Amino acid sequence: MIAKQSHTAHAGALLALGLPLVGSHIAQMALHVVDTVVLGWYGVTELAAVVLGGSCFFVVFVLGGGFAQAVMPMVAQALGRGDETEVRRATRMGMWLSILFGVVIYPLFWFSEPILLAAGQKPDVALLAGDFLRIAGLGMIPALLVMVLKSYLAALERTQVVLWVTVSAVGLNALLCYPLVFGRWGLPEMGVVGSALATLLIQGLSLVVIALYAAALPGLRRFHLFQRFWRPDWHAMGQVFRLGAPIGLTGLAESGLFQATALMMGWIGTVELAAHGIAMQVTAIGFMVHVGLSNAATVRTGRFAGAGDWADLRRGAAVAIAISAAVGVAQIVLYLSFAEPIVGLFIDRSSAEAPLILAFGGVLLIYAAAFQMMDAGQVLALGLLRGVQDTAVPMGIAAVAYWLIGVPAAWYLAFRAGWGGAGLWMGLVIGLFCAASALMWRFWSRVPRG
């Protein structure tokens, strides 16, 4: 089949779909950035606890989010085939699996303090992180349901509402987090608990708004998304599970790599862990650009795959990779040019620990410039593979790259080669490079030329 769209047309369509998703992902990350900034002004121990607790929550969220991410290519391919019934079935069972996951996983948050202590974290940090996670863990179900509905709307190319709901949530979180943490405007001072409570309230409100939109918008009513929601659809649930479980485990392998790095950084020191958390927040914001482009690539690849249009699929994939690479180069320049000023935005410069955090955080951002392109490559390759519903083998590639190569390399460079925290980040670079290379090869070798 001859490609029907030019490179320019592919780029325009990808950006039209992807830019609102990019904005939504950045805004979603900004929810956690707000917490980091507020706690950074509150206290170093509290900041380290929220960094640790937030990263633990994120690891579990990524695992459960596989079902939500499976909804996106399934709905996209169903639309490519003209099968509107499958759109409803896949989305509904994605929500079912997300609810079940949130219920089953909550005890892990409740008993997080002894788990963190067993992992070698300092008692004062583990205590506060446990307080944070017991409340934040209640937000797992609404957070996952929001993610399912975002995938559904993205596959339908209704991305504007996803953007505005998330942006509004950031503003409301800032208004709630500051007074609940510091005890302002007549509210009690709650520290890390206030931060977790603010995020929980915002997650619940976001779910209500986006669910009302998905159910009530005239253009979407034909899908009857919530009609007889309580009725199970075992076949559709099995399909979502088979596609979504490998996606979740792939995300777990990657996020687990970063979480293992955070735990090992905690062995080095509290100041180093705080600087690590700030550098991770900064790079995570940049990474959200590539996640949004990856989501858009999943939707467009799924549409082309559903229609059997392999030539346009390949051309669109090449355009997506080129755009992501250009963004990665710009981010590298930014990190290399403004490392310490960026870190300085997250802390009180008058504190005794500020010079140490600034110096170490600046070094870490220089290493972040090295792995930014690799991280972009692996997430875009995963998005393209998910568009053609190829998730099992990529899961194995990610597990090998991150856990058999990345984590051992990080540990060796940090504690045996004597590189310290910088060695941990170099291990990230090695693991991400291996993943990006193998996943890109997997995609281009599997997709027909048309």
Q: Is residue 4 part of a domain?
A: no
- Convert 279-307 to b/e letters by CB count within 10 Å (16 or more is b): bbbbbbbbbbbbbbbbbbbbbbbbbbbbb
pLDDT at 450: 56
3-state helix, strand, coil in the chain (%, to 5): 85, 0, 15
pLDDT at 106: 93
Q: How far apart, in whole angstroms, are the C-alpha atoms of residue 262 and residue 421? A: 10
Name every residue whose Cβ is closer than 8 Å to that of residue 344 and which is 6 or more positions away in sequence.
Answer: 358
pLDDT at 348: 66
Q: What is the DSSP string of 324-345?
A: HHHHHHHHHHHHHHSHHHHHHT
Q: Is residue 387 part of a domain?
A: yes
Q: State which H helix or E strand residue 246 sits in.
A: helix 234-268
The conformation of residue 188, written as its DSSP 8-state character, comes to P
Q: How far apart, in whole angstroms, are the C-alpha atoms of residue 286 and residue 22? A: 10
Token pair listed for 71:
């909804």
Q: How far apart, in whole angstroms, are the C-alpha atoms of residue 247 and residue 141? A: 18
Residue whose C-alpha is closest to residue 391's, from 279, 182, 251, 188: 251
Q: pLDDT digit string (tens) for 309-345?
A: 888 898 899 999 999 999 988 888 888 888 778 777 7
Beta-carbon count within 10 A of 374 CB: 20
327 touches 387 (CB < 8 A): no
Token pair listed for 97:
């699996």
Q: pLDDT digit string (tens) for 266-298?
A: 788 777 777 887 888 788 878 888 988 998 999
Q: Is residue 13 part of a domain?
A: no
Q: What is the 3-state secondary structure (H, E, C) of 61-82?
A: HHHHHHHHHHHHHHHHHHHHHC
Q: Is residue 312 part of a domain?
A: yes
pLDDT at 2: 45
Q: Is residue 204 part of a domain?
A: yes
pLDDT at 112: 86
Instruction: Please state the domain count of the chain.
Output: 1
Q: Is residue 15 part of a domain?
A: no
Q: What are phi and psi of 290, to 5 degrees?
A: -70, -30
The stretches in the chain having pLDDT less than 50 are 1-2
Q: What is the DSSP string of 101-152?
A: HHHHHHHHHHTHHHHHHHTT--HHHHHHHHHHHHHHGGGHHHHHHHHHHHHH
Q: Is residue 164 part of a domain?
A: yes
Q: What is the pTM of this model?
A: 0.78
pLDDT at 405: 94
Q: What are phi and psi of 351, to 5 degrees?
A: -70, 160
Residues of the domain holding 219: 20-446
Q: Is residue 129 part of a domain?
A: yes
Q: How far apart, in whole angstroms, are the C-alpha atoms of residue 383 and residue 397? A: 14
